[in-house]
Structures are given as C-alpha cells and as structure tokens.
C-alpha cells in the first residue's frame, strides 16, 4: 500500500513538472513579471565594433536611466529612437543622434549619444525649417522648396565642403515622410545663427536643414557620419500615423 501511494505521488509530480516545461512564452511572462519579451530577445543580439549590447536583464528604460537623460528628453523620445534602431538595417549602433522638435528652439534639443559607453557626447541647439513654425516646429514637409523640416529616421552618409562649409549628407529612411531629403539638399551643417541671442524667444531658422552651432559642427559631424542613425522626434499626429517605424 505504501509503495503504491509513493508511486502515485511520484507520477503526479512528474506530470506537473512536464506541464511547467510546456508553458507558452506569454504564460511564462505571467508567471514571472521580471521577464519580458524584450529581455528574452536581447540575449541573442549580435555585437560588433559598431553595435552596443544589452545585458540580459536590460531594457530601454534602464538604458535611459543609465544615460541620465531625464533632464534632457522625455522617455518617449528616447524609446522611439531606440525602438526604431532595432527595426532598421544597415545602421551602426554605437552612436545615435536624437533631435527633439517638441522642445523650444532656444533650448538644447540636439543630442549625440554614445550607446556603447553610455554617455552623452553633445547636447546643443539646432535650427528647424523657417516654414515649420516659430519656436517649436508644427508643420512638416517632404516637398522640395517647402523650407520645412521633415521628421523621422535618417542614415548619415558622407561629408563634403559646400555653401555652408563642412557638411554631412543624410538619407531619409521613411517613404513619403523624409525620403526626399537628398533631393531637397537637407544636410547637417554648422551655422553662426544656431545659438539663441540674449533675450530671444526663438532661434533663427533654416531652409529645412538641422543646422547646429558653427563652433562645434565639425566635431559633431565627424562623430556621427558614415552610417549612423539620426532621429528627428515630433509629437505630430500626422507623422505618428504615417510612420511604419515608430
């Protein structure tokens, strides 16, 4: 009788263990809230010299905290940028540039972030298109000669010396949103007008280019060129609905 009882208990225990092993991924997440789809996926993330890596328990929110970005940009801005980076191919992942067009132009809203070493390399001012709005851009366009800014994701390319000096070509990655950037000659370049004057309520504006202060533009361009991601953030409902990346 005792042997029979022990055998039954052992059989029930084995069945329970097998059942635990057959849970779906969603059921496992419910059993352990500390897990997430994000945390599971990143374990298999490849790493090269041009990529950053998450630790197994990392997340975008944790990275945001480690970079001390709370006083620089909203979490949504950073999350959109990093989430977009994960979806895009053929971009280096060591450094990302984030332009926050929800902020006034007299505030620093151009950020170059070193994801590998977890630090902000540059935090500075940036101009937007003169027809996009006054202090905060509200209207965007992908049309030649609109003199408006275009939001979304770009891949940086090569440098050249042109009308505005040392400049950086960028390729718009979102069809119908910013893919006319080259045709419109939208580039990153320096400008002596890209710093607010004392008492000013807005920064001078460009013809659509994200122009930055001349005194640091060469250093910034050299850091972000050659296939790195540049993301121009906006809370425009039109962009949010149209974008297939964010």
| Domains in the chain: boundaries | 1-35, 46-242
Pick the closest to residue 151 from 169, 167, 164, 170 (CA basis): 170
Burial 73-107 (b: 16+ CB within 10 A, else e): bbeebbbbbbebbeeeeebbbebbbbbbbebebbe
Each residue's pLDDT expressed in tens, for the chain with a length of 246 residues: 544 544 444 444 444 444 443 333 333 333 333 333 333 333 333 334 455 554 444 599 999 999 999 999 999 999 999 999 999 989 999 999 999 999 999 999 999 999 999 999 999 999 999 999 999 999 999 999 999 999 999 999 999 999 999 999 999 999 999 999 999 999 999 999 999 999 999 999 999 999 999 999 999 999 999 999 999 999 999 999 999 999
In angstroms, the CA 246 to CA 85 distance is 10
Decide which of 2.30.30.100, 3.40.630.30, 1.10.3720.10, 2.40.440.10 is the CATH code for 46-242.
2.40.440.10
């Amino acid at each position: 009788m005792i042997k029979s009882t022990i055998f039954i208990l052992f059989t029930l225990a084995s069945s329970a263990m097998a059942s635990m092993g057959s849970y779906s991924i969603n059921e496992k997440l419910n059993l352990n809230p500390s897990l997430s789809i994000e945390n599971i996926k990143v374990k298999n993330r490849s790493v090269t010299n041009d990529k950053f890596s998450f630790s197994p328990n990392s997340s975008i929110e944790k990275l945001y905290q480690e970079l001390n970005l709370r006083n620089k940009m909203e979490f949504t801005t950073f999350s959109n940028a990093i989430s977009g980076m994960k979806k895009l191919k053929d971009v280096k992942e060591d450094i990302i540039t984030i332009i926050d067009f929800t902020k006034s132009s007299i505030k620093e809203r151009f950020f170059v972030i070193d994801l590998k070493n977890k630090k902000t390399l540059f935090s500075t001012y940036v101009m937007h298109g003169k027809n996009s709005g006054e202090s905060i851009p509200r209207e965007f366009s992908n049309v030649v000669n609109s003199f408006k800014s275009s939001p979304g994701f770009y891949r940086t390319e090569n440098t050249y010396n042109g009308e505005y000096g040392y400049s950086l070509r960028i390729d718009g990655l979102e069809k119908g949103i910013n893919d006319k950037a080259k045709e419109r000659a939208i580039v990153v370049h320096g400008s002596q007008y890209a710093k607010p004057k004392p008492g000013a309520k807005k920064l001078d504006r460009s013809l659509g280019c994200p122009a930055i202060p001349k005194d640091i533009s060469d250093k910034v361009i050299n850091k972000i060129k050659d296939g790195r991601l540049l993301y121009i953030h906006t809370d425009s409902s039109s962009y949010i609905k149209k974008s297939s990346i964010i």
